[in-house]
Chain A
Amino acid sequence: DTAVSQTPKYLVTQMGNDKSIKCEQNLGHDTMYWYKQDSKKFLKIMFSYNNKELIINETVPNRFSPKSPDKAHLNLHINSLELGDSAVYFCASSPYGQLIGGYTFGSGTRLTVV
């Protein structure tokens, strides 16, 4: 029973398209995150949602929009995809205000823009 699951695992699309990545957690955590991992493996936070409220938006282009229908889901929608958006995107979750046990990450979505 996967704790943090994201779909799809692989996504290949053309420049200019709009795509979404879905994330769900069954841990009862209050906070969910999206991280981008580039080709050099660097992990950079994009968004954080706590009880459906956006907490962090780290200079991410407004083509990226997180959508959280409830606290167990945080989806990532990307408009007008660009070549530079190619990366692995990780969803994660944690209890609010408590980092005992740290974050739980999903297995990642490898996005390739051609």
Chain B
Amino acid sequence: GENVEQHPSTLSVQEGDSAVIKCTYSDSASNYFPWYKQELGKGPQLIIDIRSNVGEKKDQRIAVTLNKTAKHFSLHITETQPEDSAVYFCAAYSGGGADGLTFGKGTHLIIQP
């Protein structure tokens, strides 16, 4: 089955700086890569996703890049703000139909004022 590795486990950056979280996956058949943000006491929420036929996708301060050859994808957050503090999860999907997403172990992002 799919295996997703995520780094770092904790990331502390100064407010206004950029943050980068990296993930690798094992199954070359994976074709969909979402990122989720989980705030304290809440469920994960989708913030951005990318499909395997696209190399990069941007949404305001958030961008995701995908390198299919190397089987890795990254989340980039620019101009970080205090409300960006949360746990971020990457995930990969390789199955058809109702197969589940495989999640990375999460990155605790801390924005220092």
Binding site for B on A (CB under 8 A): 4, 30-31, 33, 40-45, 48-50, 55-56, 58, 90, 92, 96-97, 99, 101-108
Q: How far is the CB of B80 from chain A (nearest CB, A)?
A: 20
Residue B103 at the A interface, CB < 8 A?
yes
Partner of B96, one of A33, A97, A102: A97
Q: Could you say which interface size class chain B belongs to?
A: 20 to 34
Partner of B87, one of A41, A96, A105, A108: A41
Q: Taking CB as reference atom, which chain A residue is nearest B108? A: A41
Contacts of B36 on A, CB cut-off 8 Å? Answer: 102, 105
Partner of A43, one of B41, B45, B89: B89
Cβ < 8 Å to A, chain B residues 34-86: 34, 36, 38, 41-46, 49
The residue that B106 contacts in the complex, of A33, A41, A45, A108, with Cβ under 8 A, is A41
Beta-carbon contact of A96 and B97 below 8 Å: yes
**Are B100 and A56 in contact, CB atoms less than 8 angstroms apart?**
yes
Query: What residues on B are CB-neighbors of A55 within 8 Å?
Result: 97-99
- Assembly CA distance A104 to B46 (angstroms): 8
Once A41-B106, A50-B98 are accepted as A-B contacts, the answer to whether A101 and B44 lie under 8 Å apart by CB is no
> Once the chains bind, are A103 and B46 in contact (CB under 8 Å)?
yes
Determine which residue in A4, A50, A103, A105 has the highest number of CB atoms from chain B within 10 A of its CB, and name it.
Answer: A103
Contact B103 A43 (CB under 8 A): yes
Q: Give 28 pairs: A residue, B residue, CB < 8 Å, sorted on A.
A: A33-B100, A41-B105, A41-B106, A42-B103, A42-B105, A42-B106, A43-B89, A44-B103, A45-B100, A45-B102, A49-B98, A50-B97, A55-B99, A56-B99, A56-B100, A58-B100, A92-B43, A97-B96, A99-B32, A99-B34, A102-B101, A103-B34, A103-B101, A104-B46, A106-B43, A107-B43, A108-B42, A108-B43
